[in-house]
C-alpha cells in the first residue's frame, strides 16, 4: 500500500493506492492562498491525515515544478508561498515514512504507463494541459529525469515566436499561449467558458508543441490530461491531432497519436504512487 499526495496550485489531494494501482479513500481540500509556507504545508499534512491508515510502506508525491531533484526543494510556479521549500525532508520527518517526490507531470507519465492510456508503450509523452502545462517523457521504457530532474517541460517549447511573454521570461511558450491561465488572460473569461475556436486553437498549439517533441525523440504516442485538454474534449483533441498530422511529417513520426489520459481524475494520485514505486525499484509496467 502506498500513500499518494498530489500538490497542486488549486487543490491538495491524498489517497491510499494499492500495489495494483487502485485508489482507496481519497481526500481533497483547496490549496490555501497564503504567503506563509507553513500554512500550505499544514494543509498538506491535514489532507494526508484524512486518508492515512498506517499500512503504507512509502509515500509518493507529485508536485508542480520547478524543483531540485527528488523534491529536496520545491518552488511550484503556482504556489508562491513555496520558494525553495524542503518538501521531501519535511514530509518524511512529519510522516515518519520514506517520501519520494517528483514533478506532477512526470508522475502522471509514470501513472499512465503503469495503468492508464500508455500501458504497454515504451516510448511516449504525457502532458498536462491545465492551469499550466507540464509533461513527462518515457523513452526506451525509462522516465527521463534530465540534469536537474526537470526533463519534459513541454510548456516552455516555443509555439508562437511573437507570442505572449511567459512566466519564465521567454516569449511564445506553449504555456503562455494555451494554458488555462493564458486562455483566461486572452479571452477575459474563465478558460472553461472558451468558445469552439479558442478550444481548437489550444489544441492546435499543443499539437504544434507535441510535434516538435515527437520529431525530436521518436515517440509514437502522446497522452494528454488536465482540465483544458479533457474539459475541451473533442474540440481540443481533433485540432491537436490535425496539427500533429500536419507537423510530424518525417517518416518515423507519421501516425503519431494524441489521446486523452486513461486515468482521468485519478491520474495525479496514481502517478504519485508510481513515483514511490519507481523509487522502491518495483516494476510498474514500464521498466
Minimum Å gap between C-beta 56 and Zn ion is 36
Minimum Å gap between C-beta 263 and Zn ion is 27
Nearer to Zn ion, 81 or 170 (CB): 170
Minimum Å gap between C-beta 176 and Zn ion is 6
Interface positions with Zn ion (CB under 5 A): 156, 166, 168, 170, 173
Q: Which residues pair with 5 in a beta bridge?
A: 14, 61
Nearer to Zn ion, 111 or 155 (CB): 155
Nearer to Zn ion, 34 or 158 (CB): 158
The DSSP secondary structure of 63-131, one letter per residue, reads E-S-BSGGGSSB--TT-TT-SSB-HHHHHHHHHTS-EEEEEHHHHHHHHHHHHSTTTT-SSEEEEEESS
Minimum Å gap between C-beta 166 and Zn ion is 3
Cα separation of the two ends of the chain: 20
User: Is the backbone of residue 151 left (phi > 0), alpha (psi -120 to 50) or beta?
Assistant: beta
Distance CA 13, CA 101 (A): 14
Minimum Å gap between C-beta 153 and Zn ion is 8
Nearer to Zn ion, 171 or 227 (CB): 171
User: Is the backbone of residue 93 left (phi > 0), alpha (psi -120 to 50) or beta?
Assistant: alpha
Nearer to Zn ion, 15 or 174 (CB): 174
Amino acid at each position: 500500500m502506498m500513500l499518494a499526495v498530489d500538490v497542486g496550485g488549486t487543490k491538495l489531494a491524498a489517497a491510499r493506492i494499492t500495489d495494483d494501482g487502485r485508489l482507496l479513500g481519497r481526500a481533497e481540500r483547496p490549496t490555501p492562498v497564503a504567503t506563509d509556507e507553513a500554512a500550505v504545508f499544514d494543509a498538506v499534512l491535514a489532507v494526508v491525515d484524512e486518508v492515512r491508515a498506517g499500512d503504507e510502506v512509502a509515500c509518493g508525491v507529485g508536485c508542480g515544478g520547478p524543483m531540485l531533484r527528488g523534491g529536496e526543494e520545491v518552488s511550484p510556479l503556482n504556489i508562491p508561498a513555496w520558494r525553495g521549500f524542503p518538501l521531501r525532508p519535511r514530509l518524511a520527518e512529519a510522516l515518519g515514512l520514506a517520501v519520494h517526490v517528483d514533478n506532477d507531470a512526470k508522475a502522471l507519465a509514470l501513472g499512465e504507463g503503469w495503468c492508464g492510456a500508455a500501458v504497454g508503450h515504451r516510448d511516449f509523452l504525457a502532458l498536462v494541459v491545465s492551469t499550466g502545462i507540464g509533461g513527462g517523457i518515457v523513452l526506451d521504457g525509462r522516465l527521463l529525469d534530465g540534469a536537474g530532474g526537470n526533463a519534459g517541460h513541454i510548456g516552455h517549447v516555443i509555439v508562437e515566436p511573437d507570442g505572449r511573454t511567459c512566466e519564465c521570461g521567454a516569449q511564445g511558450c506553449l504555456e503562455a499561449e494555451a494554458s488555462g491561465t493564458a486562455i483566461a488572460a486572452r479571452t477575459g473569461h474563465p478558460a472553461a467558458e472558451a468558445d469552439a475556436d479558442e478550444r481548437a486553437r489550444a489544441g492546435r498549439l499543443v499539437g504544434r508543441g507535441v510535434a516538435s517533441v515527437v520529431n525530436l525523440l521518436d515517440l509514437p504516442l502522446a497522452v494528454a490530461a488536465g482540465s483544458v485538454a479533457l474539459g475541451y474534449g473533442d474540440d481540443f483533441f481533433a485540432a491537436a491531432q490535425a496539427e500533429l498530422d500536419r507537423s510530424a511529417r518525417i517518416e518515423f513520426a507519421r501516425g503519431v497519436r494524441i489521446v486523452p489520459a486513461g486515468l482521468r481524475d485519478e491520474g495525479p494520485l496514481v502517478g504519485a504512487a508510481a513515483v514511490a514505486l519507481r523509487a522502491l525499484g518495483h516494476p510498474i509496467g514500464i521498466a
